[in-house]
């Protein structure tokens, strides 16, 4: 099996980066995989020392077939760093597996991603593979996966022929909205109640999200993302010094604890029950009810207070 290279994006969080790399190096296929580490430049003098510490650390990493380190000499920001980095690596590789520096993977993460990339490489309805999964309360029968139009950014993969940097062009996306070629109501119905606000904020420079534009690309192309029923990734990025995850993680997910290396990818493309179960996580009601439940405990109230403080700081 020809393995896809892994691209890991890092910035200034040394503790989280170490946990991410340690888990990745414990994958069954780590020693057979190429690892590209892309380090964004510091955006302030305060970040400079932290970025340097991360860069010093990644130079000590071992346990992979090959390690390539790319250091941007200026701060591109998350979106441009991801878009440019993936585009650069895909010039020399047919497929790619993408991680950021706050994602802890199970030992069978690389097995799942590589097998899915091979299985779906000729299926043009599939645009990406996700290693992360939400808890979907449906009969899983004998399959390992489900599909949805909305992709997820916490450990994912795609192919060279399904990646086009032009899908992230802000001016083209603004034109789609202005000319009403993009029906935002249908986009929300298909991909979640929060996508319109995320997209507008991205185009107006209020967030640095590449992800919502990648979701829109799936929607416009009528393509799907493949998810495992048992998540192979957990996000450890909702901490005080997080660059982007400043809120409470309201996504419920059960991590794979079996570490099986065999997967069944036979599954119907569409499933209305899965669609409902999936999209409920992005509704205002779910996010509100999750926070109301947190108020019942001292720990939960502390989390809510920290969320408010972090949002004010941002």
Tell me the per-residue pLDDT of 214-266, one tens digit each, with 9 for 90 and over: 999 999 999 999 999 999 999 998 644 444 445 677 787 889 999 999 999 98
pLDDT exceeds cutoff 90 at 299: no
Mean pLDDT across 72-79: 96
Tens digits of residue pLDDT in 165-185: 999 999 999 999 999 899 999
Query: What is the distance in angstroms between the CA of the first residue and the CA of the last residue of the chain?
Result: 45
Look at 31-45, 265-279, 280-294 and tell me which has the smallest mean pLDDT.
280-294
Average pLDDT over residues 127-150: 90
Give CA separation, 192 vs 169, 186, 209, 228, 277, in Å: 22, 10, 16, 19, 11
Which residue, among 85, 108, 81, 106, has the nearest Cα to 96 in the 3D structure?
85
Q: Over range 37-51, report the average pLDDT.
A: 96
The CB density around residue 161, as the number of other CB atoms within 10 Å, is 11
Percent of the chain with pLDDT over 70: 86
DSSP letter (8 states) at residue 199: H
Residue 290 predicted with pLDDT over 70: no
Average pLDDT over residues 128-152: 90
Torsion of CA 161, 163, 166, 168, to 10 degrees: 160
Tokens standing for residue 116: 């899915």
**pLDDT tens, position by position, 102-125:** 999 999 999 999 999 999 999 999
The answer, yes or no, to whether residue 272 has pLDDT greater than 90, is no
What was the pLDDT predicted at 240? 46
Residue 249 has a pLDDT of: 74
| pLDDT of 55 above 70 | yes
In 13-84, beta strands by DSSP E: 34-39, 66-71
Residue 309: pLDDT band (50, 70, 90) is low
How is residue 168 written in tokens? Answer: 């992230």
Question: Where do the domains of the chain lie, and which CATH numbers do they carry?
Answer: 6-282 (3.90.550.10)
311: confidence class by pLDDT, cuts 50, 70, 90: low
pLDDT on residue 131: 98
Q: pLDDT class for 284, splitting at 50, 70, 90?
A: confident
Task: With a cut of 90, say whether residue 271 has pLDDT above it.
Answer: no
pTM of the model: 0.90
Residue/partner pairs of 247-253 with CB below 8 Å, 24 or more apart = 247/307, 247/310, 247/311, 248/290, 248/291, 248/294, 248/303, 248/304, 248/307, 250/281, 250/286, 250/287, 250/290, 250/291, 251/134, 251/281, 252/134, 252/135, 252/281, 253/132, 253/133, 253/134, 253/135
pLDDT score of 36: 98
pLDDT for the residue 160: 98
- 22 Ramachandran zone, left/alpha/beta (phi>0; psi -120 to 50): alpha
């Amino acid at each position: 099996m020809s393995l896809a290279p892994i691209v890991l994006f890092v910035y200034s969080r040394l503790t989280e980066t170490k946990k991410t790399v340690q888990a990745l190096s414990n994958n069954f296929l780590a020693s057979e995989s190429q690892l590209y580490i892309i380090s964004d430049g510091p955006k302030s003098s305060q970040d400079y020392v932290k970025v340097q510490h991360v860069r010093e650390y990644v130079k000590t990493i071992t346990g992979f077939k090959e390690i390539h380190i790319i250091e941007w000499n200026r701060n591109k920001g998350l979106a441009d760093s991801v878009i440019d980095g993936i585009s650069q690596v895909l010039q020399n590789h047919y497929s790619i597996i993408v991680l950021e520096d706050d994602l802890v993977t199970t030992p069978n993460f690389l097995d799942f991603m590589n097998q899915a990339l091979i299985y779906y490489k000729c299926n043009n309805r599939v645009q990406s593979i996700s290693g992360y999964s939400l808890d979907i309360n449906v009969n899983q029968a004998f399959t390992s996966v489900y599909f949805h139009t909305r992709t997820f950014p916490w450990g994912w993969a795609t192919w060279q022929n399904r990646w086009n940097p032009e899908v992230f062009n802000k001016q083209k996306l603004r034109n789609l909205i202005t000319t009403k070629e993009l029906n935002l109501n249908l986009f929300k119905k298909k991909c979640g109640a929060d996508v319109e606000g995320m997209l507008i904020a991205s185009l107006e420079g209020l967030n640095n999200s590449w992800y919502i534009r990648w979701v829109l690309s799936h929607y416009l192309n009528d393509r799907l993302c493949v998810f495992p029923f048992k998540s192979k990734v957990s996000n450890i990025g909702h901490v005080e010094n997080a660059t982007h995850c400043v809120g409470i993680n309201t996504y419920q997910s059960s991590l794979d604890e079996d570490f099986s290396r065999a997967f069944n990818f036979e599954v119907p493309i569409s499933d209305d029950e899965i669609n409902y179960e999936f999209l409920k996580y992005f509704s205002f009601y779910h996010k509100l009810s999750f926070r109301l439940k947190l108020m019942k405990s001292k720990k939960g109230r502390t989390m809510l207070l920290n969320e408010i403080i972090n949002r004010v700081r941002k």
